[in-house]
Amino acid sequence: MFDAMDVGILSFVIAAIAVEWQLSPTEMGWIGSMNSIGMAIGAFGFGLLADRIGRKTVFMMTLILFSLASGLSALTTTLTVFLILRFFVGAGLGGELPVASTLVSESVSAKERGRVVVLLESFWAAGWLVAALIAYFIIPEYGWRIALVLTALPAFYAIYLRRSLPDSPKFKQEGKPKESIGSKMKLIWTKEYARRTTMLWIVWFTVVFSYYGMFLWLPSVMVMKGFDMIHSFKYVLIMTLAQLPGYFTAAWLIERAGRKFVLSTYLIGTAVSALLFGNAEGLTMLLVFGAFLSFFNLGAWGALYAYSPEQYPTAVRATGSGTAAAVGRIGGIFGPLLVGWLLTAGHGFGLIFGIFCGSIIIGVLAVIFLGTETKQMELE
């Protein structure tokens, strides 16, 4: 929830500081991309670290890092310093997400593991809702800096986690790892896991590329479509509400229909919704297709986080998931930049969202043809 609050707030802050600092679309794109550069490095580095020192410790480290860096970014007066701090925010966010899903997947029985991990990820929707509410009520009245100060508060949650959160039972059982970083990377590319790794890297890249390209720009898209900032924030809040049923239906289906079916079906729904949203003009159509985009895309995210840790044994589970997420974050670097470049060049949203639609279809094909079903399988 705190992760999503941070990413969500950024999408609204971009729209606000673009006006205050008179940013070009390309500069706006760099804010989202710098976040993703940090996420790529954080997902890879903290994923490796979680397999070495434990899930719980790394989970707390990443929470404190992104909370404090986000709060400090409220004090900036230049784009350069803001970008540097967003890099550190991204590093914390990128590390926390795969480590959290690994910790939970290792702490739950096989028959309910997928459902519980998707429910864990459903709090991403709650975080986006909190961000949208803060943006709607705080930013127009008190400014974007106060909104960012609020994102520093989750750091205090680490105190509670340190006292109350148990570490992964499977990690404790495994004992201190003997493998080096190099051998862990080699293991995920051995014959047994190479197909799974290839599939995950393709899916993560295409999903993150399209998600950050579309959702970090969502409030700005509404402003560029002619709505004022307050109404744009309200409309994005309405679209965001659709994320919750997206997660809950995916959680219900994932133990019944399986990971591959849920992931591919929800990604196809995302691709179609992206195409329709990019070409929508009237407010009603924008809201309807924006809601479908939120519904399907976030349901797919939940399934992806449930699916990723199940591909690997305990010794490299966080490494495998973290590396796949890191490859995804590379896509997250290019997504927001692409939107900025294409808008600067005079292209419309129809073409931009059409590119994201095509990207997601590639991810669907990877799941269908390379994916292995892991429904209710015991973790290795």
Provide the residue-wise pLDDT of the chain in tens; the chain has 380 residues. Answer: 888 898 889 888 988 898 899 999 889 889 888 988 998 899 889 988 888 888 888 989 999 999 999 999 999 999 999 999 999 999 999 888 888 888 888 888 888 888 888 888 888 888 988 998 898 899 988 999 999 999 888 888 888 887 888 888 888 787 666 667 778 888 889 999 999 999 999 999 999 999 888 988 888 888 888 888 888 888 888 888 898 899 889 988 988 888 899 999 999 999 999 999 999 888 899 999 999 999 999 899 889 988 998 888 888 888 898 899 889 989 988 998 899 899 889 898 899 999 999 999 999 999 999 988 877 677 66
Does some domain include residue 207?
Answer: yes
Which tokens hold the place of 12? 């609204």
For residue 354, give the amino acid letter: G
Total domain count for the chain?
1
Q: Which residues of 66-97 are buried (b: 16+ CB within 10 A; e: fewer)?
A: bbbbbbbbbebeebeebbbbbbbbbbbbbbbb
Does some domain include residue 210?
Answer: yes
Task: Please tell me the distance from the alpha carbon of residue 330 to that of residue 373, in angstroms, as a whole number.
Answer: 26
Does some domain include residue 167?
Answer: no
Task: Please tell me the distance from the alpha carbon of residue 312 to that of residue 320, in angstroms, as a whole number.
Answer: 7
Does some domain include residue 258?
Answer: yes
Which tokens hold the place of 1? 């929830």
Please choose, from the candidates 314, 318, 270, the residue with its C-alpha nearest in 3D space to the C-alpha of residue 292: 270
**Which residue range is the domain that position 333 belongs to?**
2-152+180-370
Task: Please tell me the distance from the alpha carbon of residue 230 to that of residue 222, in angstroms, as a whole number.
Answer: 10
Per-residue model confidence (pLDDT) at position 175: 66
Percent composition of the chain: helix, strand, coil (DSSP 3-state, to 5): 85, 0, 15
Does some domain include residue 168?
Answer: no
**CATH number of the domain within which 270 lies:** 1.20.1250.20
Burial class (CB in 10 A: 0-12, 13-18, 19+), 226: exposed
- Helices 194-215 and 259-279 sit at what angle, rounded to 10 degrees? 30
For residue 12, give the amino acid letter: F
Does some domain include residue 366?
Answer: yes
The model's pTM: 0.80
Does some domain include residue 157?
Answer: no
Does some domain include residue 165?
Answer: no
Per-residue model confidence (pLDDT) at position 179: 66
The contacts of residue 101 (CB under 8 Å, 6+ apart) are: 117, 120, 121, 305, 306, 308, 309, 321
Per-residue model confidence (pLDDT) at position 361: 97
